[in-house]
Chain A
Amino acid sequence: MSRSALAPLAVVAPILAACVVLVAGRRAPRLVIDVLATATAAGVAATTGFLAASTLGGRAVTWSGGWSPVGGRSVGVVLVADPLGAGLACLAGLLTAVAMLYSWRYLASLQAHYHTLVLLFLAGLVGFALTGDLFNMFVFFELMGAAAYALTALRIEEPDSVQGGLTFAVINSLGAYLSLMGVGLIYARTGELGLARIGRALGGQRADALVIVAFVLVVTGFLVKAAVAPMHFWLADAHAVAPAPICVLMSGVMVELGVYAVARVYTTAFAGVLPGGVLRTALLVPGLLTVTVGSGMCLIQRHIKRLLAYSTIAHTGLFVVAFAVLTPGSVAGAALYVLGHAGIKGALFLVTGLLLDRFGSVDERDLFGRGSRRDPGGWFFLAGGVALAGAPPLGPGIGKAVAEDAAGRAGYPWLVAAFVVGSAVTGGAVLRAGLRVFLGLGHPPQPPASETQGSGEQPETPSLVRAVPRTMLAAIVLLLLAGALPGVVPPLWVAAGRAARMFLDRTGYAGQTLDAAPPTPVAPLPGLGWTTTGVVLGLVSVTLAVAVALLGVYRPRRAGWRGPVRSPAPVELLHRLHSGHVGDYVAWLFLGVAVVGALIAVPLLAGR
């Protein structure tokens, strides 16, 4: 079998394994199911990892059904594996394998349904990363969604869990349908569904209202998935209630795939008709808003899972900002950042899951001083906070450094501030929670009225656990290592640079996909790696993060601190905007679409 067989196999293998697990689930011993699911995910990771490495020399194109194009046209659906897409698929496989490892003997009452859904979720993630067809993207988007909604609401005894799952499902479905509207409009214009074909049909045309509206609608679903403000509200609600291993998948790769999809659709299909400058503004504005809102909300959380969720929102904002710079360096930075962030954030979610399993709470105030200094989980959590702040030489740090460098070179040095502040504030909030919970520093915080508490929840294990199972600890250590690694492996930087160059190469993509043209060799990106500036900025971020944490821990007592304290007005407003109301979220979503639409339409249509 040739290399082109690997992409469909990576999609269909988890589907087939899910079927086996479902059929055998009632009879087979739990251990067999656990091993089968973990091994399948690891196998997908190995396959797509090989694809990612081997496609550095040229994309692997697979026309499903064998419908190879004739004269550049085909009726089939194409899977196009390039290093970035296959790399994300590999990340999905790795995270799923680790999540499965963590879940051994976990959620026993669900029989094998849990494994079935996680494997189907994996199939959706992998397919979404590899497909080169717009309608096929929509279908995989819905597969990711259907599995994720159910997984979020897994713990049906929790009132919050079902509510968070429903909100997540309504908002994401609406986003998907808006995307499908866009697909319909672009089909009306071009009569095509393949990304490369659409790119050819639109290339060199004038950007009229139809193309603009189609693009804005298509990316709406992806922006919702990426939790870009003001379409980000569902994410915190869903992450706060989903089981910890599912948070690892959603936070580490699903949300990032939203950013990836915006980038993929733009670079392959719309780059020839929508000027980069216009897109840059249209992404920078919501991207920076996302960083601001995400960091702000992260700082004022006491529910640790929500805190981590808002930190994910802030970081996704940074990924959007990095992509919006639209240079190979910035895309490479975003890719490395995503890798590092996935490992570190995943480990943080799992440590929090352990807290829930041991104490029945994820509330920073409740848990104050209850973690022990001898608990390795606590030190993992603090290390995760430092890494998240961008400490050299770890994974998130290298991504941040490369993206900052690229922003400076592209003429946007002021964007560096967003990277430094965003990573410092979120890292600082994590550190603060860790210092309070595990080391018992400072005073217990006081509750304002309008926020979600994290106490009184059911643990995810059958009963509160005393000794942490080795599989769970192993999963956390693996994730931390995976998150640290990108910062110290120079070959990965070279690969990221070449992957980013290929990702932005529209003609090469179309040529290889449609004409079976030989791949154009891609030179590595010079100067990509740790620089003095990068290290200094990383250290600045960490220092700021420690300052934020210490300020949070030792902030001066207010008078009457035993009673409820009124938060400052902006904090109260931020809390109140995140209302948990599905109608509010839809209104915000449409406002977001209107803003992005106006940011693209006004410069292109005005003065015609």
Chain B
Amino acid sequence: MHWYAYTVAGWLMLVGSFGIVRSRDLVHAVVSLSVAQSGTYVLLLAVGYQSGAPAPVFAGGPAPSTRVVDPVVQAMALTDIVVSATVTALLLALSIQVHARHRTVDPDALTRLRG
């Protein structure tokens, strides 16, 4: 079973990207991008997991020991979440403006930038 979490991570990345490829709506494409990105969270957290180990927070919890779930990947995932949330906001803002200027958010109908 050890490959299960990793497979989920790869699957999320693939299916999210597939979502952008077949998208008919830019907002859908942006959300698909977030799905793809959640693959990175799953991968990072899966990499840092240790069976039966507690969380790496010691106040009032377990006595300090290094036998905890890897906090480094958690810190990376947190950074990743904040980065993606803010970038997603920027992407949605751009989508709104695309709609305001083109009156459509269907990638198939956005044909001005060609060649």
Q: In the complex, are there CB atoms of A and B closer than 8 Å?
A: yes
- The reply to whether B29 and A582 contact each other, CB–CB distance below 8 Å, is yes
Say yes or no for B69: interface residue by CB 8 A criterion: no
Nearest opposing residue in chain B for A572, CB measure: B115
Mark interface residues in A133-166 (1 if CB within 8 Å of B CB, else 0): 0010001001001100110010011111011111
| Other-chain contact of B33, A173, A180, A297 (Cβ < 8 Å) | A173
Say yes or no for B74: interface residue by CB 8 A criterion: no
- The reply to whether A580 and B111 contact each other, CB–CB distance below 8 Å, is yes
- The reply to whether B22 and A583 contact each other, CB–CB distance below 8 Å, is yes
Q: Which residues of A contact B91 (CB under 8 A)?
A: 149, 166, 169-170, 173
- The reply to whether B90 and A146 contact each other, CB–CB distance below 8 Å, is yes
Say yes or no for A311: interface residue by CB 8 A criterion: no
CB distance from B85 to the nearest CB of A (A): 11
Say yes or no for A240: interface residue by CB 8 A criterion: yes
Say yes or no for A478: interface residue by CB 8 A criterion: no
Say yes or no for B79: interface residue by CB 8 A criterion: yes
Say yes or no for A185: interface residue by CB 8 A criterion: yes
How far, in angstroms, from A297 to B29 measured CA to CA in the complex? 27
CB distance from A574 to the nearest CB of B (A): 8
| Other-chain contact of B40, A150, A180, A301, A450 (Cβ < 8 Å) | A180
Q: Which residues of B contact A145 (CB under 8 A)?
A: 87
Say yes or no for A444: interface residue by CB 8 A criterion: no
Q: Which residues of B contact A177 (CB under 8 A)?
A: 13, 33, 36-37, 39-40, 84
- The reply to whether B94 and A187 contact each other, CB–CB distance below 8 Å, is no
- The reply to whether B115 and A166 contact each other, CB–CB distance below 8 Å, is no
How far, in angstroms, from A142 to B40 measured CA to CA in the complex? 15
Nearest opposing residue in chain A for B79, CB measure: A139
Nearest opposing residue in chain A for B103, CB measure: A159
CB distance from A481 to the nearest CB of B (A): 34
Instruction: State whether A452 and B115 are in contact (beta carbons under 8 Å apart), knowing that A145-B87, A170-B29, A188-B47 are contacts in the complex.
Output: yes
How far, in angstroms, from A362 to B73 measured CA to CA in the complex? 48
Say yes or no for A181: interface residue by CB 8 A criterion: yes
How far, in angstroms, from A5 to B93 measured CA to CA in the complex? 38
Instruction: State whether A160 and B20 are in contact (beta carbons under 8 Å apart), knowing that A146-B86, A146-B87, A180-B40 are contacts in the complex.
Output: no
Say yes or no for A364: interface residue by CB 8 A criterion: no
Number of interface residues of A (CB under 8 A): 55
- The reply to whether B94 and A169 contact each other, CB–CB distance below 8 Å, is yes
Say yes or no for A505: interface residue by CB 8 A criterion: no
Say yes or no for B15: interface residue by CB 8 A criterion: no
| Other-chain contact of B101, A159, A180, A188 (Cβ < 8 Å) | A159
Say yes or no for B76: interface residue by CB 8 A criterion: yes
Nearest opposing residue in chain A for B47, CB measure: A188
Say yes or no for B50: interface residue by CB 8 A criterion: no
How far, in angstroms, from A165 to B13 measured CA to CA in the complex? 23
- The reply to whether A575 and B115 contact each other, CB–CB distance below 8 Å, is yes
How far, in angstroms, from A505 to B94 measured CA to CA in the complex? 43
Say yes or no for A174: interface residue by CB 8 A criterion: yes
Instruction: State whether A178 and B107 are in contact (beta carbons under 8 Å apart), knowing that A184-B47, A188-B47 are contacts in the complex.
Output: no
How far, in angstroms, from A592 to B72 measured CA to CA in the complex? 31
Say yes or no for A579: interface residue by CB 8 A criterion: yes
- The reply to whether B97 and A174 contact each other, CB–CB distance below 8 Å, is no
How far, in angstroms, from A241 to B22 measured CA to CA in the complex? 25
- The reply to whether A583 and B20 contact each other, CB–CB distance below 8 Å, is yes
- The reply to whether B94 and A181 contact each other, CB–CB distance below 8 Å, is no
- The reply to whether A578 and B102 contact each other, CB–CB distance below 8 Å, is no
- The reply to whether B87 and A187 contact each other, CB–CB distance below 8 Å, is no
| Other-chain contact of B115, A169, A174, A450, A587 (Cβ < 8 Å) | A450
- The reply to whether A170 and B9 contact each other, CB–CB distance below 8 Å, is no
| Other-chain contact of A174, B20, B72, B90, B107 (Cβ < 8 Å) | B20
CB distance from B40 to the nearest CB of A (A): 5
Mark interface residues in A293-321 (1 if CB within 8 Å of B CB, else 0): 00001001100001000000000000000
- The reply to whether A163 and B115 contact each other, CB–CB distance below 8 Å, is no
CB distance from B93 to the nearest CB of A (A): 9
How far, in angstroms, from A279 to B55 measured CA to CA in the complex? 41
Q: Which residues of A contact B20 (CB under 8 A)?
A: 170, 174, 582-583, 586
How far, in angstroms, from A188 to B26 measured CA to CA in the complex? 34
- The reply to whether A162 and B98 contact each other, CB–CB distance below 8 Å, is yes
CB distance from B27 to the nearest CB of A (A): 11
Instruction: State whether A174 and B17 are in contact (beta carbons under 8 Å apart), knowing that A162-B97, A451-B114 are contacts in the complex.
Output: yes
Say yes or no for A426: interface residue by CB 8 A criterion: no
Say yes or no for A590: interface residue by CB 8 A criterion: yes
How far, in angstroms, from A183 to B80 measured CA to CA in the complex? 12
- The reply to whether B114 and A163 contact each other, CB–CB distance below 8 Å, is no
How far, in angstroms, from A183 to B39 measured CA to CA in the complex? 13
Q: Which residues of A contact B98 (CB under 8 A)?
A: 159, 162-163, 166
**8 A Cβ contacts from A336-371 to B:** none
How far, in angstroms, from A466 to B51 measured CA to CA in the complex? 71
Mark interface residues in B1-38 (1 if CB within 8 Å of A CB, else 0): 00000000110010001001111001001100100110
Q: Which residues of A contact B63 (CB under 8 A)?
A: none
Say yes or no for A82: interface residue by CB 8 A criterion: no
- The reply to whether B113 and A575 contact each other, CB–CB distance below 8 Å, is no
- The reply to whether A240 and B37 contact each other, CB–CB distance below 8 Å, is no
Say yes or no for A48: interface residue by CB 8 A criterion: no
Say yes or no for A460: interface residue by CB 8 A criterion: no
Nearest opposing residue in chain A for B91, CB measure: A169
How far, in angstroms, from A240 to B30 measured CA to CA in the complex? 22
How far, in angstroms, from A333 to B33 measured CA to CA in the complex? 38
**8 A Cβ contacts from A439-475 to B:** 450-452
**8 A Cβ contacts from B65-115 to A:** 72-73, 76, 79-80, 83-84, 86-87, 90-91, 94-95, 97-98, 101-102, 107-108, 110-115
- The reply to whether A184 and B44 contact each other, CB–CB distance below 8 Å, is yes
- The reply to whether B113 and A185 contact each other, CB–CB distance below 8 Å, is no
- The reply to whether B97 and A156 contact each other, CB–CB distance below 8 Å, is yes
Say yes or no for A167: interface residue by CB 8 A criterion: yes
- The reply to whether B110 and A581 contact each other, CB–CB distance below 8 Å, is yes
- The reply to whether A158 and B101 contact each other, CB–CB distance below 8 Å, is yes
- The reply to whether B107 and A583 contact each other, CB–CB distance below 8 Å, is yes
Other A-B pairs beyond A170-B30, A181-B9, A452-B115, 15, CB < 8 Å: A135-B79, A146-B86, A149-B94, A150-B90, A156-B97, A159-B98, A163-B102, A165-B94, A181-B39, A184-B44, A184-B73, A185-B47, A187-B47, A301-B115, A583-B107
Pairs across A and B, CB under 8 Å, 16 listed: A142-B87, A146-B87, A153-B94, A163-B112, A170-B29, A174-B36, A181-B9, A184-B43, A184-B47, A184-B73, A240-B113, A451-B114, A452-B115, A574-B115, A581-B107, A583-B21
Closest A-B pairs by Cβ, 7 of them: A451-B115, A580-B113, A159-B101, A575-B115, A162-B97, A166-B94, A184-B43
